[in-house]
Structure formats: C-alpha cells, structure tokens
Structure 1
Amino acid sequence: MTRFLIAVAAALGLVSAPMAASAVERQSKPATHSSNLAGTNAVFFLGGIVAVVAAVLLLPEEDDTPVSA
C-alpha cells in the first residue's frame, strides 16, 4: 500500500510541476549592450573554409607502399 501512495505522490508531483511553472510569469529585460562580435559570422565562415582548404592542400598524401619491403 505504501508503494502505491509513493507512486501516486510522485505522479502528482510530475503533473503539478509544469502547471506551477507555467503559472509564474517572468519579465525579460531588453539587452542594453549588443555583442561586439555582431556581423563577424562571415569572417569566421570564410576562415573555416580557408582552414579546410589549407589542410587538404598542405597535408601530405599517404603512400600505399609498405614500410618493410
């Protein structure tokens, strides 16, 4: 019987927690200072492309010849 009561209490807790959380209203404040990195996405994107191209061109290709011949 006690396991049943514990299961019922846990189920009520799981059901009531989201309802209680949705009842609370939170006010958000607008951002006063914007990020200094705004607009630099293109720089990071192009830098990533350059890094990938450099890695493909500069990394040596492996030979298929065995080391112990």
Structure 2
Amino acid sequence: MFDDETIDYFVVVNDEEQYSIWPARRDLPTGWRAIEPARSREECLNHIEQVWTDMRPKSVREAMERQSVQ
C-alpha cells in the first residue's frame, strides 16, 4: 500500500514529531495529522527527508536536553 506510485499521499506527523506517509484516500490513523496537502509519494518522501533530521522522538530529545542543562 505504501509503495504505490500511482496514488497521492499525505505527510503525517504524530505528537512525538515522527513523520510518515499515509494514503490520501484512507482515513488518518488515530494520533496522526496531515501537515501538507496530498501529493505524490516521491514528493512526500522528499519533504520528510528535508524536515525530519533528528529521528529521536520528541520526548527523548526533551529529556536529553533537560539532562544536558543540569
């Protein structure tokens, strides 16, 4: 389903700021929201590659930042 180049996808993100793609014709899964209009799979993956530069979940990044300040 996620490798079909003939359908449009959303770039989706969850509360932990983790990114994925989701077929535009399907309801979004609970806990995820679309952040851009639907577009081609390649465009979505390119966008994710540009913006998701730190793969750690948000809670882990914040915990590590708190530790480094102490």
Quickly name the TM-score band, shorter chain normalised: under 0.3
More helix by share: 1
Q: Which has the higher strand share?
A: 2
Q: What is the TM-score of this pair, normalised by structure 2? A: 0.25
TM-score (norm 1): 0.26
Larger Rg: 1
